[in-house]
Structure 1
């Protein structure tokens, strides 16, 4: 099957990247990690003006899961914090009302679905906490559970185990898109740094070993991309395909993170460098909405 994004989808992607590139998302993510949500909520309202939360919430847009993947890939690339997956990809399938508030950007939603999603992301700022049946949950802990990604503020919520559903699979698809976007940022940043950093009188990007490392990352990301978009248009094989996409995108993003650390060297360990925002996010998202083992088992079944 030959698949290409439509001109409208390409323009949508370009608009998102242009908006987020000027939004200082790194500073927004650091403030969000500190519990300061004002800048993040302002960013979310800007995304609402571009139609991001309305993609599945507003039937008048006639948007598809491909559009959701386009949006989540851009959000992952720019490390946008908050319950974006839950609000954009999952909540529209669970909510029976307030869809207009969600589409307008006035409502953030988070979801808990144990055992694969045992904690509610940003329950302190979300207006609604749901389980996979669409039931609203209220008994959330007052303090966040520590996460490897400081911008992912996780809260314990009393909820019963939920069987995976279409809404769950849409969340998996959105996580895979975020991982692919983060991996692409890591590759782009590594290539740019390899052209700037010199060692023994030469740019490190001119060394064959560095070229091979970066080429391996580019290859893995490009192999994951068709699985991701193929899953977005799948029908009867949707569950299998989203799990395959999650595994491939997670592995590719993890390789991009490891390679980025090798290329950047010691500067990559500093808290001030934006590399750290993606390293911790990739590590956290790799296990979010089902671990690699869980999704490999689903593909096998």
Structure 2
């Protein structure tokens, strides 16, 4: 199997990158963190106009009905730009959830608006003994909660502090039970969200590597650009290798068709992309030095995004557990 993007995918990614660059994304991210959603919503509407929010939505519900690989391409660019908003939930998790339900009423009701950018959606997973939180529940028109085997609408509660100011989290409380018996749909939503988040992490990691490389070409110490020092070269080369090795796992997860391997491949991609992006964040911070710690410097937008996102769809331990379980089941089938 060839893990490489086609020329069409490359062109699609380039068009989204141009759109996000022209949209002054860092300014929109800062405004979003301060509670001014208008610039970010304008950017999201542009993404919707380019088809990015409807990639996972079937044509019957107003979407593009593209392949998961197209979604991965889009979210790499979204991560590279650090775009704000509940984009993973709107474009990946909720479409996977609603389209996995046997009854299409809720998909007919909500997906057309999510696909064309008229509305945003967010999703919380209830956990025993813990508050259920959802991203940007104050601006999302569709607020859903997966409570065990039930799909419910959610009611926004108090704000929850996040390490990333642009990831505005809120408690959500169960409001109305919409459907019961949604275990399989819930699993599909989690995997779709984790896959999109992995792509977002990889894109953010590449943005951090680019920022560190450009800074190393400009900053001078002892009369030389710091990028000429072997220690800096080696550190950035290690980051590049980590990102390049994570990409095939991400593409493999996007190409997975079997239910039995989906959780394994998605978790492998999420863990590896998260580790590669975090290594990029640490290296970028070290290369920039003191200025990298300042909130006013744009590097901070990616540093906090990566730190928060690498656990937003499950911890590394959770995903490694899913990989181990899948491998055990595979071994048992092989010996049966």
Q: Same fold (TM over 0.5)?
A: yes
Q: 1:207 to 1:25 in 2, by over 3 A?
A: same
Structure-1 separation of matches of 2:230 and 2:95: 48
1:222-241 alignment, distance < 5 Å: 222-236=244-258, 237-241=261-265
> What SS does structure 1 have at the residue aligned with 2:170?
strand
Shift of 1:134: 7.7
Match among 163, 180, 190 for residue 168 of structure 1: 190
Match among 160, 169, 176 for residue 154 of structure 1: 169
Q: Which runs of 5+ in 1 are unaligned?
A: none
Comparing 5-14 with 280-289, greater Cα deviation is found at 5-14
Q: TM-score when scaled to structure 1?
A: 0.95
Comparing 32-41 with 1-10, greater Cα deviation is found at 1-10
Residue correspondences, number: 299
Alpha-carbon displacement from aligned partner over 1:179-233 (angstroms, at most 9, x marks no partner): 1011000000000000000000000000000000000000000010000010001
Shift of 1:117: 9.6
Q: 1:99 to 1:139 in 2, by over 3 A?
A: closer
Shift of 1:138: 3.0
Structure-2 separation of matches of 1:216 and 1:289: 26
Structure-1 separation of matches of 2:16 and 2:219: 30
1:100-179 alignment, distance < 5 Å: 100-115=112-127, 118-132=132-146, 135-141=151-157, 143-159=158-174, 165-179=187-201
Q: Residue in 2 aligned with 1:192?
A: 214
Contact 1:58 1:100 in 2 (8 A): no
Q: Residue in 2 aligned with 1:11?
A: 11
Alpha-carbon displacement from aligned partner over 1:215-274 (angstroms, at most 9, x marks no partner): 000000001000001000112211100000011001001100110111000110111111
Structure-2 separation of matches of 1:196 and 1:256: 19
> What SS does structure 1 have at the residue aligned with 2:295?
coil
> What SS does structure 2 have at the residue aligned with 1:72?
helix
| Higher Rg | 2
Shift of 1:113: 1.2
> What SS does structure 2 have at the residue aligned with 1:158?
strand
Alpha-carbon displacement from aligned partner over 1:18-76 (angstroms, at most 9, x marks no partner): 01111111110110011111111111111111001111124263401101110111001
Q: 1:134 to 1:99 in 2, by over 3 A?
A: farther
Say whether 1:63 aligns with 2:78: no
> What SS does structure 2 have at the residue aligned with 1:151?
coil
Q: 1:241 to 1:197 in 2, by over 3 A?
A: same
Say whether 1:211 aligns with 2:227: no
Per residue, is there more strand in 1 or in 2? 2
Contact 2:16 2:77 in 1 (8 A): yes
Contact 1:128 1:136 in 2 (8 A): no
Contact 1:186 1:257 in 2 (8 A): yes
Contact 1:56 1:89 in 2 (8 A): yes
Match among 274, 280, 290 for residue 266 of structure 1: 290
Q: Which runs of 5+ in 2 are unaligned?
A: 99-106, 326-336
Say whether 1:249 aligns with 2:252: no
> What SS does structure 1 have at the residue aligned with 2:143?
strand
Contact 2:256 2:262 in 1 (8 A): yes
Structure-2 separation of matches of 1:140 and 1:104: 24
CA RMSD of aligned residues (A): 1.8
Give the ranges of 4+ consecutive aligned residues of structure 1 lying more than 6 Å apart after TM superposition.
none
Contact 1:117 1:289 in 2 (8 A): no
Comparing 261-270 with 89-98, greater Cα deviation is found at 89-98
